[in-house]
Structure 1
Amino acid sequence: MSDAWPWIVVAGLGAFHGLNPAMGWLFAVALGLHRDDRRVVWFSLLPIAAGHALSVALVAAAVVSLGLLVDGRVLGVAAGGALIVWALCHWRYGSHHRVRVGLQTGLFGLALWSFLMATAHGAGLMLWPALMPLCFSGGAAASASGSVVPALAGVGLHTLAMLAVTGAIAITVYEWIGLAILRHAWINLDLIWTVALVAAGVWLLLA
């Protein structure tokens, strides 16, 4: 179980990110409704996943690069502090600085929007507690190649979980529920997201 938990966390965070409407499913549904075509909902999922994956992959690359140069404990403390600061900034300013992309955007614009939203929300930073033991199990990695493979696998697993949940919610809302439900059954996921960032930061500081 101790070896499996980082993979479970990576997949679980992917599902959590897919649940957040800011990560893409709301945009996919809106595009489908705007163009009155369910295929648009399906096609939108690929650039949304690609943009999210690129944002997370850049953070994974930072984990690998810094982990080869900096002591693991120092890196953990720095990452924990960064997560808490990011959470406070997101709580204070996040709702005032949203990425604006029109419903007429193409696939490239949608991928760019997804990348910027994932980056602004600190989606990749949230993976640090799980990526560090994946990339540097048993201490520092012997070489860059020894940490790159698990990092890529982690990003892939995270993206697949995110894509599965995003797709399931987008299609369900588009086909059966409709966006009107958001007026009556809205959950403040921004607050949950902020708490999750703080929790991950504290875990890294205390680990």
Structure 2
Amino acid sequence: MTLTAVLLLGAFHGVNPAMGWLFAVARGLQERSRDRLLQSLPMIALGHLASVAMVTVAADVTGSLVGGTALAIGCGVLLVGYGLWRLLSRRHFRWVGMRLSLPQLAGWSFLMSSVHGAGLMLLPVVARSGGHHHGSLGLMIALIHTLAMFVVAGVIAVAVYEFIGLRILRSAWINLDRVWAFALVGAGVFALIPGNTY
């Protein structure tokens, strides 16, 4: 179940345009170059990986110092609090301008993933895995999660660039920020229920 949860959360992040595929498409359309889009995706994934790994590795390293149950409860409370803040907040992080170098794009992705709490949702997975892995489990979880995010985001970005274009997004837009916030709250509540495992 843990692997399934990590893959599904990665896929969800890949679907979410705020995590980068929309930015990659915009860069490709702006430069009228599919290569620009394809160059953007690995850098977006790299920034996402750095943000997620920072959280999962830290949780994995300190796992032996904090009981698994206590950590899971702490993660649950953190997720619920952060999710509620995202639901109630009208402020959204904005990056000015689309002409970024590839390293700047990785930095943008790191900031967006961190601001959206991308790594927070994986904390219960790390906490419930138990043990003291010196960060190896946390890194593996972050890598698998990011790989799923990269594949899904890449497929969507290429499909939108090649076949759909950005115009349809104006008429068929879903507020994934709200979906993400509800998902954070839901994952937090689930983590607080005794005996649940991912």
Q: TM-score, normalised by structure 2?
A: 0.93
Residue in 1 that maps onto 2:104: 109
Indicate if the aligned counterparts of 2:87 and 2:182 stay in contact, CA closer than 8 A: no
Q: Which residue, 176, 182, 185 being the options, matches 1:195?
A: 182
In 1: Cα distance, 2:125 partner to 2:73 partner: 14
Counterpart check, 1:75 vs 2:71: yes
String of CA shifts for 1:12-52, please: whole Å, max 9, x gaps: 10000000000000000000011110000000001100000
Q: What is the CA distance between 1:58 and its match in structure 2? A: 0.6
Correspondences of 1:62-101 after superposition (within 5 Å)? 62-93=58-89, 95-101=90-96
Q: What is the CA distance between 1:63 and its match in structure 2? A: 1.1
Deviates more, 1:150-159 or 1:165-174: 150-159
Counterpart check, 1:175 vs 2:162: yes
State the secondary structure of the residue aligned to 2:97. Answer: coil
In 1: Cα distance, 2:128 partner to 2:140 partner: 13
Deviates more, 1:162-171 or 1:102-111: 102-111
In 1: Cα distance, 2:75 partner to 2:169 partner: 35
Q: Which residue, 41, 46, 49 being the options, matches 1:50?
A: 46
Q: What is the CA distance between 1:80 and its match in structure 2? A: 0.6
CA RMSD after TM alignment? 1.3
In 2: Cα distance, 1:78 partner to 1:86 partner: 12
In 2: Cα distance, 1:173 partner to 1:99 partner: 22
State the secondary structure of the residue aligned to 1:96. Answer: coil
Q: What is the CA distance between 1:184 and its match in structure 2? A: 1.4
Residue in 2 that maps onto 1:118: 113
Q: What is the CA distance between 1:154 and its match in structure 2? A: 1.2
Would the alpha carbon gap of residues 61 and 87 (structure 1) be closer, same or farther in structure 2, given more than 3 Å must change? same
State the secondary structure of the residue aligned to 2:76. Answer: helix
Residue in 2 that maps onto 1:149: 136
State the secondary structure of the residue aligned to 2:103. Answer: helix
In 2: Cα distance, 1:26 partner to 1:167 partner: 10
In 2: Cα distance, 1:171 partner to 1:164 partner: 11
In 1: Cα distance, 2:161 partner to 2:61 partner: 41
Indicate if the aligned counterparts of 1:101 and 1:109 stay in contact, CA closer than 8 A: no
User: What runs of 5+ residues in structure 1 fail to find an aligned partner?
Assistant: none
Aligned-partner residue type, residue 85 of structure 2: C
Q: What is the CA distance between 1:187 and its match in structure 2? A: 1.3
Deviates more, 1:10-19 or 1:124-133: 124-133
